[in-house]
């Protein structure tokens, strides 16, 4: 068999295997949106079966043999799509073959049940109800890390699942100066000569009207409702089922506009990335998938923040919002509204946090994940430790578990190692957006007239089309000419808050 024939067969095998993964994604979407609670046990069996089938087929000697026949041949030299696909598939194959099928199935079974228990515990604000499930999830996650192997600490094995090649030392190297500069900025904001009125976005915003406005915003961004849908869930998410099917969710608060609106923009940002990947030709292959979760989050955070919280965005959308939310916004002008959606103050909920404090939420979770994984913190004590560290970081007491340790779905779903990618996403997004503005000097004017196609096309050309062809840091270097740094994010935040707060 020639290298080209081996590669073609590998592609065919991966596309079939990935159909199993897309089927699991569809079942998981249904679980989080419409599945009745009593279906959790049966759904856990379905998802565990599919996970086992996927693992068995992907880790078969056949896949390893095909990779071996293609590696070190002229077909995969340089930075071609073929080279990237083989490189990343080999990386994944070497990890997955170390995991027993039974462990893979058990992780999926337990996390499916744990998500349902988390939803109930969150609704009741009762961590004690969820604590045994948290212990089970971390025990299985620890087993997974040990099976895959790691250098340094087990967290490195898990972080690699979301940010390939990244290590704890890399995260700490960028978190440390970022934390220092954020604390300094937040200190200046606290003592600022003027403050916006956050009450503007905390008025009466009927849910039905929020749905209309949210869909209009997502559509203006470029989200294609003929290839996706918007539904309600406990914790917002986006899932790419396959070519022509990318779904997003949100949750509504009738007394606060920010929650659903920026949640929709965040998830639509994820969806635009998924829709921009070459899933028609590269489905099931790294070149048809995101390069990392940090890059994925850069897309969602950019649309949510650099776009959605910009003054130019509201030059266009505030008049529309005032027509829809007549009672709430009748007396509001542009500067007041711009200040309200950019109000900075400590708050409980990560997904509702302002840009200034958001990354502190991530750092808290990063610390706790490592402590739980290294058995320095017992699952039963995690809520208390959360409260202690939250008070240290934010200066306020957590009033209830649903505003504390139970607010995020990630740990119930077994997504340990995911949280740092949110801050990486903020860093990448600031760096990418600065380059987009440099390449398109009239970008602000485009936003003011409701035209977001320029930015979307720039993202399609510079980021989306590459999929996983380049690792995250290599992509940043390729797009911006610079390695990842916290400076572009701090420059952006200092400029924005300097205008709003007069600092």
Report, as residue numbers or ranges, the catalytic residues. Answer: 267
Element (H, E) at 297: helix 293-301
Q: Distance of CA 252 to CAs 101, 214, 261, 310, 463, Å?
A: 39, 10, 8, 22, 31
Q: Are 253 and 234 in contact (CB under 8 A)?
A: no
Give the single-character DSSP code of 465. G
Give the single-character DSSP code of 305. I
Residues in the chain: 503
Rounded CA separation 216/237 (Å): 19
Question: Cα 23 to chain center, whole Å?
Answer: 21
Q: Distance of CA 415 to CAs 54, 208, 412, Å?
A: 19, 32, 8
Torsion sign across C-alpha atoms 114, 120, 123, 128: negative
* Tokens 């025990």 sit on residue: 139
Report strand pairing: 230-232 vs 245-250.
Answer: parallel
Q: Give the DSSP per-residue string, 144-162.
A: HHHHH--SSSTHHHHHHHH
By the 10 Å C-beta count (0-12 exposed, 13-18 middle, 19+ buried), 326 is classed as exposed
Rounded CA separation 244/224 (Å): 9
């Amino acid at each position: 068999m020639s290298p080209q024939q081996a590669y073609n067969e590998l592609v065919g095998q991966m596309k079939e295997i990935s159909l199993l993964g897309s089927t699991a994604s569809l079942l998981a979407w249904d679980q989080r949106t419409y599945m009745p609670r009593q279906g959790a046990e049966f759904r856990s069996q379905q998802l565990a079966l599919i996970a086992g089938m996927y693992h068995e087929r992907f880790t078969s000697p056949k896949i390893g043999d095909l990779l071996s026949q293609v590696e070190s041949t002229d077909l995969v030299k340089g930075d071609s799509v073929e080279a990237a696909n083989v490189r990343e598939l080999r990386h994944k194959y070497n990890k997955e073959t170390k995991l027993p099928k039974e462990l893979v199935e058990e992780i999926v079974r337990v996390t499916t049940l744990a998500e349902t228990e988390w939803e109930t515990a969150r609704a009741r604000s009762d961590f004690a109800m969820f604590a045994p499930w948290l212990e089970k999830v971390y025990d299985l996650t620890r087993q997974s890390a040990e099976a895959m192997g790691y250098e340094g600490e087990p967290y490195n094995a898990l972080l690699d699942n979301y940010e390939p090649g990244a290590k704890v030392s890399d995260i700490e190297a960028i978190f440390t100066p970022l934390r220092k500069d954020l604390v300094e900025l937040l200190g200046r904001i606290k003592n600022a000569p003027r403050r916006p009125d956050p009450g503007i976005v905390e008025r009466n915003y009927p849910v039905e009207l929020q749905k209309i406005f949210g869909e209009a915003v997502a559509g203006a961004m470029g989200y294609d409702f003929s290839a996706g849908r918007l539904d309600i869930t406990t914790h917002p998410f986006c899932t790419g089922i396959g070519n022509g099917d990318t779904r997003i969710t949100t949750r509504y608060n009738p007394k606060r506009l920010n929650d659903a609106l920026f949640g929709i923009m965040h998830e639509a940002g994820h969806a635009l990335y998924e829709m921009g990947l070459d899933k028609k030709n590269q489905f099931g292959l790294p070149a048809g998938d995101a390069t990392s979760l940090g890059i994925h989050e850069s897309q969602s955070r950019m649309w949510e923040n650099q776009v959605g919280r910009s003054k130019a965005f509201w030059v266009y959308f505030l008049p529309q919002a005032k027509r829809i939310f007549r009672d709430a916004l009748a007396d509001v002008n542009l500067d007041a509204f711009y200040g309200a959606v950019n109000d900075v103050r400590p708050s409980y909920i990560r997904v509702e946090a302002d840009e200034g404090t958001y990354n502190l939420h991530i750092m808290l979770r990063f610390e706790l994940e490592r402590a739980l994984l290294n058995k320095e913190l017992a699952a039963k004590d995690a809520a208390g430790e959360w409260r202690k560290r939250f008070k240290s970081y934010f200066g306020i007491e957590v009033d209830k578990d649903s505003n504390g340790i139970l607010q995020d779905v990630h740990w119930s779903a077994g997504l340990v190692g995911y949280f740092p990618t949110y801050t990486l996403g903020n860093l990448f997004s600031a760096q990418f957006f600065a380059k987009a503005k440099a390449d398109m000097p009239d970008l602000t004017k485009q936003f003011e007239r409701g035209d977001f196609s320029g930015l979307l096309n720039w993202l399609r050309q510079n980021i989306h089309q590459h999929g996983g062809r380049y690792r995250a840091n290599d992509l940043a270097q390729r797009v911006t000419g610079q390695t990842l740094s916290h400076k572009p994010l701090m420059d952006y935040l200092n400029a924005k808050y300097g205008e709003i707060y007069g600092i």
